[in-house]
């Protein structure tokens, strides 16, 4: 593609990014599920993300002239901010629409809203919606590349990308063979789990899941992972402790006696974290419910906590994705079905 370069010769960082994108490409145009992502895709995204992380304050002019809509029909802090900043740091123009300030509220249908946004000739639509499968459906009806930023209780693929990037960075290597990842919490209502478990499977991690029985849907067994009703047992010898929020807005209170009781048995306290390996890292997608899913002292500055690192990696990973996808779409007409 014709990249808009500034007059001065490209810096070493820019040259690296241009070269890598010339030689390798993603296997997908739209990202709705981690199922679509190959191991080669993962390596490519992580190689580019690593480079973007080194130059985190640098504004690249690569994607000048391209636009992005952040369509967030459910609340978001991290995902929306990082996608918006990522686009801006690649010199894209962005705009955001949400449930409370869009015509959604006036009764416009999901697909009409999406097609309207697509008609602005945008390059990417970052979509968070209440409907499981919404991003896949939307992608079939617009020319833009649609990225799932969380669809109902289903998946959150870019969260899984940044999580896998964080774990691989910590332990080195290209996969997670021999690494025990223990996921604790509200599995049932979690789209983060839906993508995390798929990416961990691809990377061949040993996955354990610990939750009250009521938070463990039957389909978890189909992933062929070990399930525990005791957090303490599941944490024994773990390399990664991944805590999930109790999602009260999805009715989680109906599955546990009280939040206090939940936190006593499944909340990650320093004592419980000590059951994992001494080198274990603690992760959480955010937002953290302090002293419910994770004890306050473990949230931000604790040496084993990688929660803010995940946020930082989210920015680099999403920038990598936007950079690689914008090339993937260049010069081609995506086959889509106007309604
Ligand atoms: C998650 C989400 O919205 O699915 N947050 C995020 O994107 N980092 C998890 C949550 O809300 O608990």
Q: Is 247 helix (H, G, I), strand (E, B) or coil?
A: coil
For ligand 1, is residue 78 a contact (CB within 6 Å)?
Answer: yes
Per the CB < 8 A criterion, the answer to whether 300 and 308 are in contact is yes
Question: How far apart (Å, rounded) are the C-alpha atoms in residues 24 and 36?
Answer: 17
Question: How far apart (Å, rounded) are the C-alpha atoms in residues 1 and 326?
Answer: 9
The reported pLDDT for the residue numbered 301 is: 83
Model pTM above 0.85: yes
**Rounded average pLDDT over 290-319:** 94
Choice from 285, 289, 290, 309 to test ligand 1 binding pocket (greatest atom count within 8 A of CB):
285
Tokens 């599920």 sit on residue: 33
How many angstroms is it from 157 CA to the middle of ligand 1?
11
Question: How far apart (Å, rounded) are the C-alpha atoms in residues 133 and 322?
Answer: 21
Per the CB < 8 A criterion, the answer to whether 44 and 323 are in contact is no
Element containing residue 234 per DSSP (H, E): helix 231-235
What is the chain's mean pLDDT, rounded? 92
**Rounded average pLDDT over 286-292:** 94
How many angstroms is it from 228 CA to the middle of ligand 1?
23
For ligand 1, is residue 189 a contact (CB within 6 Å)?
Answer: no
The half-sphere exposure of 212 on its side-chain side, counting CA atoms within 13 A, is: 21
Choice from 163, 188, 246, 287 to test ligand 1 binding pocket (greatest atom count within 8 A of CB):
287
**Rounded average pLDDT over 41-52:** 96
> Residues with Cβ < 8 Å from 300, sequence gap 6 or more?
307, 308
For ligand 1, is residue 150 a contact (CB within 6 Å)?
Answer: yes
Per the CB < 8 A criterion, the answer to whether 34 and 202 are in contact is yes
Per the CB < 8 A criterion, the answer to whether 302 and 280 are in contact is no
296: left (phi over 0), alpha (psi -120 to 50) or beta: alpha
Confidence of residue 5 (pLDDT cuts 50, 70, 90): very low
For ligand 1, is residue 250 a contact (CB within 6 Å)?
Answer: no
State yes or no: pLDDT of 78 exceeds 90.
yes
Question: How far apart (Å, rounded) are the C-alpha atoms in residues 96 and 84?
Answer: 8
Question: How far apart (Å, rounded) are the C-alpha atoms in residues 102 and 14?
Answer: 37
For ligand 1, is residue 80 a contact (CB within 6 Å)?
Answer: no
State yes or no: pLDDT of 37 exceeds 80.
yes
> Residues with Cβ < 8 Å from 236, sequence gap 6 or more?
275, 276
Confidence of residue 140 (pLDDT cuts 50, 70, 90): very high
Sign of the Cα torsion 296, 300, 303, 309 reads: positive
Say which range, 55-64, 223-232, 322-331, has the weakest mean pLDDT. Answer: 322-331
The minimum-distance atom of ligand 1 relative to the CA of 78 is 8
């Amino acid at each position: 593609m014709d990249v808009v370069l500034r007059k001065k010769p490209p810096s070493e960082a820019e040259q690296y990014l241009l070269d890598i994108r010339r030689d390798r490409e993603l296997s997908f145009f739209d990202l709705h599920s981690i199922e679509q992502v190959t191991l080669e895709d993962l390596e490519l995204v992580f190689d580019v993300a690593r480079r973007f992380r080194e130059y985190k304050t640098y504004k690249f002019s690569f994607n000048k002239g391209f636009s992005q809509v952040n369509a967030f029909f459910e609340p978001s802090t991290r995902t929306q901010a990082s996608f918006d900043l990522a686009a801006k740091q690649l010199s894209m123009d962005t705009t955001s629409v949400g449930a409370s300030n869009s015509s959604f509220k006036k009764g416009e249908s999901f697909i009409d809203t999406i097609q309207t946004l697509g008609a602005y000739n945008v390059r990417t639509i970052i979509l968070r919606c209440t409907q499981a499968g919404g991003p896949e459906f939307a992608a079939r009806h617009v020319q833009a590349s649609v990225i799932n930023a969380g669809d109902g209780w289903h998946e959150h693929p870019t969260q899984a990308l940044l999580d896998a990037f964080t774990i691989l960075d910590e332990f080195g290597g290209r996969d997670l063979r021999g690494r025990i990842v223990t996921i604790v919490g509200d599995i049932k209502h979690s789209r983060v789990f839906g993508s995390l478990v798929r990416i961990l499977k691809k990377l061949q991690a040993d996955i354990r899941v610990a939750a009250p029985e009521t938070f463990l849907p039957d389909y978890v067994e189909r992933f062929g992972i070990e399930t525990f009703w005791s957090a303490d047992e599941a944490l024994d010898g773990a390399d990664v402790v991944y805590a999930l929020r109790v999602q009260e807005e999805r009715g989680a209170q109906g599955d546990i006696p009280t939040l206090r009781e939940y936190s006593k048995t499944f909340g990650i306290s320093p004592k419980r974290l000590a059951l994992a390996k001494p080198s274990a890292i603690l992760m959480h997608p955010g937002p953290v419910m302090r002293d419910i899913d994770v004890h306050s002292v473990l949230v931000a500055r604790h040496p084993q906590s990688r929660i803010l690192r995940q946020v930082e990696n989210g920015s680099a990973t999403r920038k990598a994705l936007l950079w690689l996808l914008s090339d993937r779409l260049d010069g081609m007409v995506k086959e889509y079905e106007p309604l």
